[in-house]
Structures are given as C-alpha cells and as structure tokens.
Amino acid sequence: MPTGLRSLIDSGTRVWLDSVDPEEVIKNKTAGVTGCTSNPSIIADLVQSGRFDDKINEFIEQGLDDEALTWAMTDHLVVEAQKEYTGVWADTQGNDGWISFELDPLLEDTANPLSVEERSAKYVELGKKWNEGHQNRMIKVPATEAGLGALEELAAAGITLNVTLIFSERQYLAARDAVWKGRQRYGKLDEFKSVYSIFVSRVDVYTEKELPGLSADLQGQVGILNAKLIGLKNHEFWADKGLKLDQEMIFASTGTKKPELPKDFYVDALAGSDIQTNPPATNAALDEIGRVYEPTSRTLPDQAILDEFATIDIQKMEDQLMAEGTAKFADPHKALIQTIADKRSALAGA
C-alpha cells in the first residue's frame, strides 16, 4: 500500500510544490506533484544559492536595474517550471499543471501612496502583462481590498487566477463572486479554472494568543475547521454550474508552527480533496513519516465544536491576520530586491 506523499495524492489531494527550484520541480514531479507556486522568498533563496549567477549576469549585461532584474529572474524561473508541467496541463485539458506567478507585493506596502482603486488598476495592468503569452501560468493576487477590486476585470480578460492570502469566508465569497462574474463576461467557460488559497496554520497561531479561552477540543483546530467549512461552501457553489474544470481551494500555510505537533498535522487533517501547496521539505517529511492518508477534508467535528467556532469574531481575526499578512507579503519582496543588489555587487567583484 502506498504511503507518504503518494498516499496523500491517492486520497484525492492534488499536491503543488511551493517552489520553482528546477531540481526540486523535476524531483517532485516524478513523485506525483502536479503544479507549483512561487513567491519572493523562494526566488531569493534560489538567487542566493549561486546556481543562477550566469543567468543573472546575462540580465545585468542587458542593463536591467535591480527591480527589473528581480522580475526577469522570477519570470525566468516560473517559465522553466511551466515547461516541466505543460504536459500535465495539456493532458488534464487545463485542470492541472499550473504554475503561480505572484504580482507585485509592493502594491500592499504600507508606504505605497496609491489609493485602493489605483492599486486595483495596477493589479489589472500587471496581471495582463505577466499573463500574456502563457498557457499554464496562474496569476496570483492577494485577497486584500485592492486585490479583490481587481479580480472581476482580470477574470473578464480571460486570466486564470489564484486568489491568495484568504483567512475568512468574507474574503473567499468576495473573491469567488468577483472571479465568476468576470469570467462569465469573458466566456469560454469550458476553459475556466480558478483556485482560492486559504491560509491555515496562521489562524491557530492567532487563536492561541488572542483566544486562550477556547475549549481544548477547538484550540489548535480553528484553522483546519475554518478551511474545511470554506472548502465545503466552495464545493457546493460550483457543483451545479456545469463546468468542465474544477474550481478548487488551495490549502496553504500547512506547515506546523509548534515543534510538538507532527510535521503532517495539517496535511493529514485536510487530505482528500482540492490542492495542498507543500514546500520540498514537507513532501520529503511525508515520505519519512510513511503514513497512509485517508480523506478527511470534508469531515466535520461534533455540533458542539461547530457552535463554539461560530462564537469566534472572524472579522477581527481577519483584520489582524491581514495586517500581519500584508507585511509578510511586501517585506520578502523588498528583501528579494536587496538580495539581487547584493548579488550584483558580488558578481561585479568576482
């Protein structure tokens, strides 16, 4: 009987790699992973590795400044991953094999002077720019007010979207309805694909700190239950739409934040449907643990726990986690630009 990563996939979960490291992409694809996501922290680690110095020099010789080089390098690594998964994308007729490309996180920087409306317009502009000419690239947009404000127009342009940084049902519903409205304007519904990335473990960090009075049955489980309930709503909404492709949740931020928890704590609890994005280390850990995973993503706890969950002020939780999340969104991109600048100096002195 298959165990580890293979068992997770067999349970009904699709696994996407939270990396565009070319070596890890190939390795994990062989193990059954069917897509990838990228973000500035991932790109920064790859730049620092020294494995891509020749490509960086190439961009330097083209006269690119640090920010332009940052985007050129991101685009290059995402394109390479897209090539690996073009076959999966074609074989599934666009239901899988996607690589996510994150739009400019500095649009969410607290120092950004643009209004919400102006930032929404910028997301639309950048989404069209970075989507052009790509068939299995998913444009990643955060569920901030500016990001949500861009979704209908992006979907109406026929762009395939990964709406990220979702913590609440309110964000999910706003994102889903905007994407669906925009896509219906565009048409070609047989080619319509969308995903909605809900962050899981950060919710439990919040409740442990801010809601210490929760029962032992619920504390440490709020992120899982929140994700399951939203996942069920997503499944129910799309069930009668007659679409050819799956509109799915991505269960993200599934790494454990507490050392006493098993490394597969969230992976196990959300096995069986939709998509999980795992970094290479998590996929390796699953094989080391060697467990068999059963479908659990649509199994809910007793009514008493659901009733207690309903007492949580979800809007307050969303507000705080989004304030923290947007900082975590923008700061790594600033760090990536600095990493590029440092690499430029190192290569110049080599």
141, 151 Cβ separation under 8 angstroms:
yes
What distance in Å separates the CA atoms of residue 206 and residue 80, rounded to the nearest whole number? 37
Q: How far is CA 338 from CA 41, 335, 346, in A?
A: 12, 5, 12
The helix (H) or strand (E) run that includes residue 131 is: helix 116-131
In the block, which residue shows the tokens 């069209």?
Answer: 128
Other beta carbons less than 10 A from residue 58's beta carbon: 14
20, 14 Cβ separation under 8 angstroms:
no
266, 256 Cβ separation under 8 angstroms:
yes
257 is catalytic: no
Closest CA to 272 of 251, 244, 247: 251
In the block, which residue shows the tokens 């399951």?
Answer: 228
The helix (H) or strand (E) run that includes residue 313 is: none
| 140, 193, 228, 263: the active-site residue | 140
Closest CA to 156 of 128, 135, 122: 128
15, 278 Cβ separation under 8 angstroms:
yes
Closest CA to 322 of 116, 109, 166: 166
Judged on CB neighbours under 10 Å (0-12, 13-18, 19+), 258 is exposed
DSSP string, 194-215: EEEEEE-HHHHHHHHHH-TTS-
* Residue numbers annotated as active site: 140
